[in-house]
Each structure stands twice: as C-alpha cells, then as structure tokens.
C-alpha cells in the first residue's frame, strides 16, 4: 500500500533564535524561528526486498517505508542519504515513472549527486520551475522507486 510520506523526516535548519538568560540561569527564547526561512529535510535511503513482490524484487526504502510517496516544497532543500545502497542500484531523481532507463530521464535542475549509491548523498534544492511530479528511481532497474509530489508554499 502506498502511503504519503509528507516531510516525516528529520527537519533541520530552522535558523537561530535570539535568547536571554533568565534569573535562574535558564535560557528563554525571545525570537521564534522565521517560518519563511528555507528548511532542510533528510531522507535515509536503503534497498530492501519488496513486501509487495515475493519474487525477490528489491525496492528503495525511504525513512523506513517502501514505496514512500514524498511531497517536497519548491525552494526547500532535501538531502537523500544512501544507507549502504548497492552500486547496481544508483538512486536518482527522474521524470520517468518506471526508471531502469540508464538515467536517460534524470532530472538535473537543482540536483547534486544524482546516481548516488553506497553512503553517498544526493541533494535536491527544489527549483521554483520544477514540475508538479517527479520520481526517485534506480537507473538500472524498473519500479524500485515512487512518486515525488512537488508543491508550492
């Protein structure tokens, strides 16, 4: 079953807060984080046997979920950390719903580290002009990834 993983990720980069020390020595915040400041979400990516296909098919596991449907926001930064991802399953962002095309449909704008494996990192700064739908895929094998919905604030 495909479930939406909407930024159920480690959120970093909320910005600093000005603080004052109260008489008891504790610190109190006087300035809340700026909600307009870009944030960074981290997704951990592994390759596991699919629970949907008993024939030994493998899929990407994103933050512990198979076939995770992601929702990313234009202007935000996302880090995909590979977790011992085998070299034969290079992770990339794509316009292809199936993958396995050798990366012919790779999405390049705003991406650093496409075709990541091992413990490499793929970073995606979602451009304002990004399409509403992308995919994360393996460039060598079909149907290992799933949807990335791109939204505006």
Q: Which residues of the chain have pLDDT under 50?
A: 1-24, 26-29
Q: What angle do CA 13, 16, 19 make, to 5 degrees?
A: 150
pLDDT for res 54: 77
**What is the count of structural domains for the chain?**
1
Q: What is the pLDDT of residue 20?
A: 42
81 in helix, strand or coil? strand
pLDDT for the residue numbered 110: 98
CATH number of domain containing 59 = 2.60.40.420
Residue 93 sits in which domain range?
4-151
What is the three-class DSSP state of 65? Answer: strand
Integer Cα distance of 120 and 78 in angstroms? 14
Q: What is the pLDDT of residue 7?
A: 36
């Amino acid at each position: 079953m495909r479930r939406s993983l909407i930024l159920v990720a480690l959120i970093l980069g909320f910005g600093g807060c000005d603080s004052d020390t109260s008489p008891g020595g504790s610190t109190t915040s006087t300035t809340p984080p700026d909600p307009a400041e870009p944030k960074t979400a981290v997704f951990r990516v592994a390759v596991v046997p699919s629970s949907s296909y008993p024939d030994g098919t493998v899929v990407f596991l994103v933050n512990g979920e198979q076939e995770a449907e992601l929702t990313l926001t234009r202007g935000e930064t996302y880090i995909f950390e590979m977790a011992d991802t085998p070299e034969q399953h290079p992770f990339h962002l794509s316009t292809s719903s199936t993958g396995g095309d050798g990366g012919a449909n790779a999405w390049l704008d705003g991406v650093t580290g496409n075709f990541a494996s091992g413990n490499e990192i793929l970073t995606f700064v979602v451009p304002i002009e990004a399409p509403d739908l992308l995919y994360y895929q393996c460039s060598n094998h079909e149907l290992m990834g799933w949807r990335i919905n791109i939204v505006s604030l």
